[in-house]
A and B are shown apart, each in its own frame.
Chain A
Amino acid sequence: MEVHAEREGKILITRAEGRVDGTNAREFEEALHAAIGEDDRLLIMDLQNLSYISSAGLRAFLMIAKKLQGRGGKLVVCSLTDTINEVFEISGFSRIIPTHASRSEAVAKHGG
């Protein structure tokens, strides 16, 4: 699992790669906390290269989403594979975390 962070204007964008499961979910969450600066309000997580996620990994998404909401910001996800999308749907995450087909769509919708 790897987390890469970059910025597009005021938007923080992270790319998660590989597997996020019970063995590394804590590490994944810590990497995200470390990437989020004090002034960050919008985090777009590009999940194109996320190959696997379990409930342990979903927990990290929820923690980050709550953290950002707590400061008036939000977590947005994009480019989910079909199977990851199914897990998000089953978990009801699609109802509480805005989900977009592509990064450009997510930036266009939330970046303004």
Chain B
Amino acid sequence: MSRKLSLEIDPRVEELSAITAAVEQFGDAEKWPPDMVFQINLVIEELGLNIMTHGKSEDLEKIEITLTAEGESLTIEIVDNGHPFDPTREAPEPDLDVGLRERAIGGLGIHIVRNLVDNLRYRRQGGRNHVTLVKERVR
């Protein structure tokens, strides 16, 4: 049996606090370790902020976030009607080999997401971005 958490937020940074609280509550009920709560909040924040900044268009109204827990897996789906953006392909990998002086500011969000989830998929459907992430339970 799967358990779901569905959230819908306005594309404003302040709305992140509501997500954090809801994810913590869901994680408590699912008995996630604290690290897992941290990581799930982190990937949602990074993708959410990315939509709010880079995907921003006049049409962007809502961001829908659905968490589905089933067995040892958690699936997160994030849907928005902003500009098309495929996080599996479009964000360039940051250059982590340069020194502090040359190190670019920014560009880490999607890189962090890619490194924290087990599977990341994207599709554009009906004029909306659908990003699906799968995270296996942290032990």
Contacts and interface: CB of A to CB of B under 8 A. Distances in A.
B116 A90 contact: yes
Contacts of A52: 38, 41-42
A104 interface: no
Interface in B100-121: 100-101, 103, 105-106, 108-109, 111-112, 115-116
Prevailing SS type, chain A contact patch: helix
Nearest to B104: A62
A69 B103 CA distance: 12
Given A22-B49, A96-B99, A59 B105 contact: yes
Interface string A69-87: 1000000000000110001
B94 A66 contact: no
A65 B35 contact: no
B64 interface: no
What's the interface size class on A, roughly? 20 to 34
B39 interface: yes
A23 B99 CA distance: 28
A21 interface: yes
B1 interface: no
Interface string B82-106: 0000000000001011011101011
Interface residues of B, number: 29
A87 B17 contact: no
Contact of B111 (A56, A62, A83, A90): A90
B13 A22 contact: yes
B112 A87 contact: yes
B35 to A, nearest CB: 5
Contacts of B111: 90-91
A1 to B, nearest CB: 12
Nearest to A69: B100
A55 B49 CA distance: 10
Contacts of A96: 99-100, 103
A65 B99 CA distance: 11
Given A22-B45, A23-B13, A87-B112, 4 more contacts: A66-B100, A66-B101, A91-B96, A92-B94
15 contacts: A22-B13, A23-B16, A23-B17, A54-B49, A65-B100, A66-B100, A66-B101, A69-B100, A90-B112, A90-B115, A91-B96, A92-B96, A92-B103, A96-B100, A97-B100
